[in-house]
Structures are given as structure tokens and as C-alpha cells.
Amino acid sequence: MTKRPAHSPAHSAPSGADDTDPHQQPGSLADCRRCDLWRNATQPVPGAGGAPARLMLVGEQPGDKEDQAGLPFVGPAGQLLDAVLEAAGIGREMVYVTNAVKHFKWELRGKRRLHKTPAQREVEACAYWLERELAHVKPKVVVALGATALRAVLHDPHARLNAHMERTTHAGGLAVLATWHPSYVLRAPDPDARERARAQMVEVLRRAHALMSGH
């Protein structure tokens, strides 16, 4: 049941479209009010790619460009992701790409909308959609890009990226791998760190490629 403030008019619809309700079971992303992030975003950003797909990549949440385009990983992080996928011999058309959280969370700094890390309760609210995508896409292998994605995929708010980067975790019929988020690589403090992180991403994606191809 949706709680309504006492002063709401009795004749309004039983579930007000402007109420956030973590127990809502929406049929479409556009109707989702499971957390507050829908309020300040342009639109929800669903995953993209064919289904079924043997490999699914999970990011954190849409960025500024994705919020405007309604598509995942189309901005600078997406360009880096495309480059590392190519270096690992994986075409974007072979994978389903999505995010743990489907609405852009941001704060205004000057004139720019700066990314804000989603809260655990928002990741948990949005797992409703990630589970639906997993059921639809039926991947063999999931690569979590960054800690937020890893925690969402493993349903473990304490999972640590460092502990998973060289490991394959079998969970619920999936092989789960983890690597850096592409934005981490873009923000790396110096060219050496950047190159190291990028090479680690390529390495994990190669392992994912081998696993999804069954060798």
C-alpha cells in the first residue's frame, strides 16, 4: 500500500505517480518510483544489447551523456569501454551492457551536473531491474565494472573490488568477474597508472571472453 499524507485529497488516485515507494513493482522503467532518483533525471537508462547474450557488463549508473541519450555507456566512459572490449576481441554487439542503477544521480557544480555515487538503498531498490535483465538476457558470464556493480551483482554490500579482480565467483549459475570502472581508468592520476588499469581491464575481459566461449 502506498502511504499518503493525511492532507491528500481522498479522490486522488490510490498510488500517486509522484510518491516514491520502495515496494512498488512497476511494469516499466518509466513508471519506476522505487527510489528517489527518478525525480532529477531526464529519463531512465535501460540496458542495451541483444538477448540472450552470453556476456553481460554491469556499470554503476548512467552519466550525464547517458541520461540525455537514454542509452548506457555512450559518453567518455563508454568510449574507453569500447576500446578495451575491442582489445579483448569482444564486439559491443556480442554483449549486453547495463548499469546497477538506471537513473543518473548528480549534483550541480557550477553549470555541470557531477556524478554522485548511488547509495546502497538505491542500488538495492534498482536490483529489481537488474534481476529482470539477468532473467531476460541469461548471460553465462557477468563482468562487474567497479565496486557498485560488484555489490549489486553479488547481493553483497560488503564485496570488495580488490578481492575480486583476479577471481571468478560462481553465483546463481553465473560466472562473475570484476574489474575497474572505466571512469576510474579515465581519472587515474598519471599515464602509468592509467595504462596499468586499462591493461587489467583488458585482461579481465579476455578471461570473460574465454569463459563465455567455453574454454
For ligand SF4, the binding residues (CB under 6 A) are: 29, 32-35, 37-38, 44, 101-103, 122, 125-126, 129
Block residue for cell numbers 568477474: 177
Binding site for ligand URA (CB under 6 A): 59-63, 66, 72-73, 75, 77-78, 99, 183
List the beta bridge partners of residue 57: 97, 143
**Which of ligand SF4, ligand URA, none does residue 47 bind (CB under 5 to 8 Å by kind)?**
none
Spatial neighbors of 96 by CB under 8 A, at least 6 apart, are 47, 48, 49, 50, 51, 53, 55, 56, 57, 133, 137, 139
Can you tell me the distance from the alpha carbon of 65 to that of 78, in angstroms, rounded to the nearest whole number?
A: 10
Cα–Cα distance for residue pair 79/84, rounded to 1 Å: 9
Closest approach of Cβ 37 to ligand URA, in Å? 14
Which amino acid does the sequence have at 13? A
Give the cell for residue 16.
500517486
Closer residue to ligand SF4 in complex, CB, 38/179: 38
Among ligand URA, ligand SF4, none, residue 101 binds (CB under 5-8 Å by kind): ligand SF4
**Three-state SS at 41:** coil
Query: Of the two residues 66 and 90, which places its CB atom closer to ligand SF4 in the complex?
Result: 66
Least distance CB 159 / ligand SF4 (angstroms): 20
How many Å apart are CA 143 and CA 175, to the nearest integer?
Answer: 8
Q: Which is nearer to ligand URA, 175 or 180 (CB)?
A: 180
Is the Cβ of residue 101 or residue 174 nearer to ligand URA in the bound state? 101
Q: Count the Cβ atoms, other than its own, within 10 Å of residue 189.
A: 7
Nearer to ligand URA, 58 or 202 (CB): 58
CA dist., res. 158 & res. 152, Å (int): 10
The residue whose grid cell reads 538503498 is 121
**In the complex, what is the shortest distance from the CB of residue 56 to ligand URA, in angstroms, rounded to a whole number?**
13
User: What is the smallest separation between the CB atom of 118 and ligand SF4, expressed in angstroms?
Assistant: 7
The one of ligand URA, ligand SF4, none whose footprint includes residue 72, by CB under 5 to 8 A per kind, is: ligand URA
Which residue, 60 or 124, has its beta carbon nearer to ligand URA? 60
